[in-house]
Amino acid sequence: MEVNEQIAIDHGLKSDEYKKICQLLKRTPNITELGIFSAMWNEHCSYKSSRLHLKKLPTKGKKVIQGPGENAGVIDIEDGDAIVFKIESHNHPSFIEPYQGAATGVGGIMRDVFTMGARPIANLNSIHFGSPQHKKTKNLLRGVVHGIGGYGNCMGVPTIAGQTSFDSSYNGNILVNAMTLGLVKKNKIFYSKAAGLNKPVIYVGSKTGRDGIHGASMASASFDEKIEEKKPTVQVGDPFTEKLLLEACLELMAGDSIIAIQDMGAAGLTSSSIEMASKGNLGIEIDLNKVPCRETKMTPYEIMLSESQERMLIVLENGKEETAKKIFDKWNLDFAVIGKTTNSKNIELFFNQEQVTKIPVNILVENSPMYDRKWKKSKLPKKNKIKNEVLKELKIKDVLKKILSNQNICSKEWIWQQYDHTVMGDTIQKPGGDSGVVRVHGTNKAVAASVDSSAVYCWAHPLTGGKQVVAESWRNLISVGATPIAITNCLNFGSPEKEDNMGEFVECVQGIGEASKYLNFPVVSGNVSFYNQTKEVGIKPTPSIGGVGLIKDYKKMISMDLKEIDNLVLIIGKTEGHIDQSLFARTILDEKNGPPPEVNLFNEKNNGESILNLIDKEYVKSAHDISLGGLLVAISKMCIKGNKGIKINKSKNLMNEIEYFFSEDQGRYLIEINKEDLKEVTKILDKNSVYYEEFGIITKNDIIINEKTKLTIDELKSYYTSWLAKYMS
């Protein structure tokens, strides 16, 4: 087939990008080469709209072993141990085919982690659906949950935490972000940088089929009414093969055969081979007839662009082929020497003894387009004036009932019960808490992880929203007693070609950067997903932040369930009564405008560190951060989980009760302490200038507020637990 500009445009390339390709090659590319360019230069692989802004994120720190640019980030957790982790989106495929889309998202991120030599020890996910009333939502939710479970459960990796939200902006474009943590010895980390000439290039794993061709290009375009036609671009997952691949790779990695290893994810063999060559400043030569194929008569174009799952590319030391083959034979996986490294600095492909591709690697990587897209700055919206009369008419009990059973607050047990969260025998905090926690097997240490996003805040004011998500991730780790170390981010946005959406991206990234810098909570890995929109409408900006922290002595881990009657509950951080953009404002007042709560990074850091100090001194019996829904929602969850009540006395001279109980001011936590420790605790808080209030005293059952409002724990439980199960039944 003769290549021309129209064919290039059909491949998702822009007209000037095609011209640039011809110019750089000094000729017209053939169809295979055009396919390779389209795979490498699409938004998903090249980060062409985001690179400029991502550069500004803080990525370094004392604990950072590997920042962005590898398969995943790596942090130091002492004693020679390291955690490899990353979050990645699989939004577009999951909307087209929820089960396979979500499953292969989970498979892909686990591969990113074990490619680096780490055994996956925990999975998390952040999933966002359209309005519950939308006709597709139920099936999408069911399919995604089954897909995540289907893959993760079979792999035997516990899914320990997650986040689910519903918002009509996702009606035509759901979000599925999957995160994995792996454990590795610091001196056994594997990278994707090829080195040395004439080293054998090995293909292992599943055979290559025609599935997923153009998957990455599909993920780089908006949806329209022809979306169903794109089903063949969705990959099909095989967790069993991935489990074998995991064990085989780890077995091979225990020796010294591997020079470089890279999984075949988006853009398959194309991006994996080019990345390895590019990082090593080498050339690579592949005989495509040697690639194990599942189907007959596959063309070079199809082989290079297939996104068949569960495949890896390895550069081996010379002479290690037999050792490696033995291992893959044992696990019944395909193994083929398909090429070698060269000094040509070209990628050269052969098929039926003919050269079908010859492109200088640097053209594909360093010369890939980078855009400084136009973007629009957001103004901070004006505060709403909420009339006191409106608030006074509301009964606390009615409001709490509505908010606790709201789809974005209620218990997600229906979801996480379908995920194996206890396999591997080290899960010490299950889903439903502030963070999931797994022990580092055989040690006294544990790793905490949480995934968060606040699309509503980001939509109202991206800069504040970006900061807030990082702060919330930080608080969720602190609440379980973990010292926050680093984050990974999955940036889900609309079209970068629209100034509004691009502005949301730029300012969210700026907010994330500011907060992570201030909190010394660097970004070590991540991914960008643009074009999350259907026709002209983009989703609410949704950066998901995956935070990871370390608990040095797992016996000191904190959970949110109230522990003991007569203990005191303190509020850490000041309640100012910020109602705009709260769940209360949206669901009760139907008010969607106004600024999100302000994020004061000094207070975040100070309050968080002070709580860690109290936890270390063993004063804290339970803790929970106050986020979506506000104070009363936070204490309700603590009561429900601990099966205890609380007597709350709010002094009358403060703000209106509704504002007090349902505002979403940041930087706040609830902590439970022993009465006798009050003096010592307040001494420490005072010394650190941390604002606190005595909130209430723990009782056997019932939440009682100022003697006049009374709710039983059973009532609270039924509000909190019934919505999702009922919706899905």
Closer residue to other proteins, CB minimum distance, 61 or 239: 239
Q: What CA–CA distance (Å, rounded) separates 124 from 157?
A: 10
Rule CB under 8 A: choose which of 211, 238, 452, 677 binds other proteins. Answer: 238
Token match 């946005």: residue? 493
Q: For this structure, is 11 an active site residue?
A: no
Does the protein bind other proteins through residue 239 (CB under 8 A)? yes
Does the protein bind other proteins through residue 166 (CB under 8 A)? no
Rule CB under 8 A: choose which of 240, 372, 398, 688 binds other proteins. Answer: 240
Q: Are 241 and 333 in contact (CB under 8 A)?
A: yes
DSSP-assigned beta bridge partners for residue 603: none
Token readout for 529 is 């997903």
User: Closest distance between other proteins and the C-beta of residue 413, in Å?
Assistant: 9
Q: What CA–CA distance (Å, rounded) separates 682 from 695?
A: 13
Closer residue to other proteins, CB minimum distance, 129 or 695: 129
Helix (H, G, I), strand (E, B) or coil at 419: coil
Q: Is the dihedral of CA 629, 631, 633, 634 positive or negative?
A: positive
Q: What CA–CA distance (Å, rounded) separates 327 from 529?
A: 36
User: Closest distance between other proteins and the C-beta of residue 403, in Å?
Assistant: 26
Token match 């810098």: residue? 517
Decide the pairing of beta strands 523-529 and 483-492: parallel
Q: Per the residue annotation, which of 44, 128, 214, 578 is the catalytic one?
A: 44
Decide the pairing of beta strands 542-551 and 568-572: unpaired
The 135-154 contact track toward other proteins, x by CB under 8 A, reads: -----------x--xx--xx
Does the protein bind other proteins through residue 388 (CB under 8 A)? no
Helix (H, G, I), strand (E, B) or coil at 655: coil
Contact positions with other proteins (CB under 8 A) in 411-430 = 416-425, 427-428
Closer residue to other proteins, CB minimum distance, 221 or 246: 246
Does the protein bind other proteins through residue 331 (CB under 8 A)? yes
Closer residue to other proteins, CB minimum distance, 50 or 479: 479
DSSP-assigned beta bridge partners for residue 287: 350
User: Closest distance between other proteins and the C-beta of residue 554, in Å?
Assistant: 7
Closer residue to other proteins, CB minimum distance, 153 or 567: 153
User: Closest distance between other proteins and the C-beta of residue 415, in Å?
Assistant: 10
Rule CB under 8 A: choose which of 373, 439, 461, 644 binds other proteins. Answer: 439
User: Considering only CA atoms, which of 481, 628, 612, 631 is closest in space to residue 570?
Assistant: 631
Does the protein bind other proteins through residue 554 (CB under 8 A)? yes
User: Closest distance between other proteins and the C-beta of residue 129, in Å?
Assistant: 18
CA 24 from chain center: how many Å?
36
Does the protein bind other proteins through residue 334 (CB under 8 A)? no
Does the protein bind other proteins through residue 600 (CB under 8 A)? no
Q: Are 30 and 60 in contact (CB under 8 A)?
A: no
Note the helical H segments in 551-628.
Answer: 583-587, 601-616
Token readout for 608 is 């968080």
Closer residue to other proteins, CB minimum distance, 150 or 212: 150
User: Closest distance between other proteins and the C-beta of residue 162, in Å?
Assistant: 13
Closer residue to other proteins, CB minimum distance, 206 or 278: 206
Rule CB under 8 A: choose which of 90, 193, 243, 467 binds other proteins. Answer: 243
Whole-angstrom CA distances from 548 to 98, 437, 473, 476, 522 are 28, 10, 9, 10, 11
Count Cα neighbours of 301 within 13 Å in the Cβ-side half-sphere: 12
Q: Are 91 and 176 in contact (CB under 8 A)?
A: yes
User: Considering only CA atoms, which of 486, 526, 471, 450 is closest in space to residue 123?
Assistant: 450
User: Considering only CA atoms, which of 711, 557, 726 is closest in space to residue 639?
Assistant: 711
Q: For this structure, is 92 an active site residue?
A: no
Residue type at 715 in one-letter notation: E
Binding segment for other proteins among 238-246, 275-283, 477-485, 491-499 (CB under 8 A)?
238-246
User: Closest distance between other proteins and the C-beta of residue 310, in Å?
Assistant: 11
User: Closest distance between other proteins and the C-beta of residue 426, in Å?
Assistant: 8
Closer residue to other proteins, CB minimum distance, 69 or 156: 156
User: Closest distance between other proteins and the C-beta of residue 104, in Å?
Assistant: 15
Does the protein bind other proteins through residue 156 (CB under 8 A)? yes
Q: What CA–CA distance (Å, rounded) separates 713 from 248?
A: 50
User: Considering only CA atoms, which of 371, 665, 367 is closest in space to residue 505?
Assistant: 371
Closer residue to other proteins, CB minimum distance, 67 or 147: 147
The 244-273 contact track toward other proteins, x by CB under 8 A, reads: x-----------------------------
Does the protein bind other proteins through residue 722 (CB under 8 A)? no
Q: How many CB atoms lie within 10 A of CB 651?
A: 8
Closer residue to other proteins, CB minimum distance, 162 or 300: 162
Token readout for 247 is 């064990």
Residue type at 728 in one-letter notation: M
List strands edge to edge, sheet with 620-625.
Answer: 620-625, 669-673, 568-572, 692-699, 645-648, 703-705, 709-711
User: Closest distance between other proteins and the C-beta of residue 414, in Å?
Assistant: 9
Q: Per the residue annotation, which of 90, 92, 128, 624 is the catalytic one?
A: 90
Interface with other proteins: number of residues (CB under 8 A): 30
Residues with a catalytic annotation lie at 44, 90
Residues near other proteins (CB under 8 A) = 146, 149-150, 153-156, 238-241, 243-244, 331-332, 416-425, 427-428, 439, 554-555
